[in-house]
Amino acid sequence: MSEFLQHIANTLILGGTYALLGIGLTLIFGIMRVVNFTHGELYTFGAYFVFLISSVLGLNFLLALPVAIIAGLVLGALIELLLLRPMRGADIDTTMLVMIGAMIVMQNSEQLVWGGVAKSVSTPFPETPLVIGPVSVSYLRVFVLVMALLLIAATYVLINRTKLGKAMRATFQDRDTAALMGVNVRAIYTATFAIGSSLAAAAGALLGPAYVISPHMGDIASLKAFAIVILGGLGNITGAAIGGFILALAEELGAGYVSSGYRDAMGFLIIIAVLLIKPTGLFARAERIG
């Protein structure tokens, strides 16, 4: 029983992590329909940024977070302006390839700059865990979970309740018509990619200290993020958040009660199963024919 409770606690913690990875991609992949292979690199970028600020420059970890978010915003805007804008009108696979190219360049640049050796960041959080009955979790991870939930809520409000959010959705549903409504579609493209990127950087900034930071940390992060976004239904923020927790649950119970070798397989089997039952994700949108 206590093991089970610990697994559930782990699920919450890990689910928060996954949800955080997913929401940035929901904007870029779910709404913009850009298969964003740089997501993992922006995540890595955020992590290295925190390392730079808190370990190299010796500034406060809590300061590093907002700065990393802003840096992600800027880098995302640059990627959009330099790589995506010229590709406007190209189809999704072609854009994807550009993003793969960008990923290769970014990942190896990171390695060139930082070397392949993993870095770690120390945080102001106590190293002794928070113990509640049979369950024990690290303070840092609780902080990450809380931040993840806050960022999810903020993104949800942004997309569904604000004018900017409406303009974003409108732009990617029908660019010309959005322009006719007075939306500056170029600015929206840049803004959406930048915001999505900054969320990835935020995830890196929060999780980098929880894990270790290396040029390859983005690889599985990307893969999981894609899975989560699709599990939740493209462009659906709440879907992505719930998808993150479901994936975490599948992995946690898979490793705990089936076999740790098949831990990741459990996650992917769940995804396959969900898509077989609901081919457009858990929270599919209505569509019509004719």
Ligand X SMILES: Nc1ncnc2c1ncn2[C@@H]1O[C@H](COP(=O)(O)OP(=O)(O)OP(=O)(O)O)[C@@H](O)[C@H]1O
Instruction: Find the binding residues for other proteins in span 12-41 (CB under 8 A).
Output: 13-14, 17, 29, 33, 35
Q: Which is nearer to other proteins, 70 or 272 (by Cβ)?
A: 272
- What is the nearest approach in angstroms of other proteins to the Cβ of residue 215? 7
Interaction partner, residue 132 (ligand X, other proteins, none; CB < 5-8 Å by kind)? none
Of 51, 54, 141, 241, the one binding other proteins by CB under 8 A? 141
Greatest C-alpha distance within the chain = 61
* Whether 267 contacts 227, CB under 8 Å: yes
Q: Looking at 40-48, 65-73, 90-98, 147-155, which segment touches other proteins (CB under 8 A)? A: 90-98
Nearest Cα to Cα of residue 45 among 68, 20, 61: 68
Please tell me the distance from the alpha carbon of residue 260 to that of residue 10, in angstroms, as a whole number. 15
Nearest Cα to Cα of residue 199 among 45, 14, 15, 80: 45
Residues in a beta bridge with 136: 131
Of 63, 100, 150, 153, the one binding other proteins by CB under 8 A? 100
Interaction partner, residue 145 (ligand X, other proteins, none; CB < 5-8 Å by kind)? none
**Is residue 162 close enough to count as binding other proteins by CB under 8 A?**
no
- What is the nearest approach in angstroms of other proteins to the Cβ of residue 278? 9
Q: Which is nearer to other proteins, 70 or 122 (by Cβ)?
A: 122
Q: Which is nearer to other proteins, 3 or 154 (by Cβ)?
A: 3
Interaction partner, residue 88 (other proteins, ligand X, none; CB < 5-8 Å by kind)? other proteins
Between residue 228 and residue 287, which ones bind other proteins under the rule CB under 8 A? Answer: 230-231, 234-235, 251-256, 259-265, 268-269, 271-272, 275-276, 279-281, 285-287
Nearest Cα to Cα of residue 72 among 54, 56, 88, 48: 48
* Whether 76 contacts 194, CB under 8 Å: yes
How far does Cα 250 stand from its chain's mean position? 19
SS (H, E, C) 206-240: HHHHHCCECCCHHHHHHHHHHHHHHHHCCCCHHHH
Q: Which is nearer to other proteins, 178 or 199 (by Cβ)?
A: 178
Q: Which is nearer to other proteins, 224 or 241 (by Cβ)?
A: 224
Beta-carbon count within 10 A of 131 CB: 9
Nearest Cα to Cα of residue 245 among 24, 19, 25, 22: 19
Q: Which is nearer to ligand X, 277 or 286 (by Cβ)?
A: 286
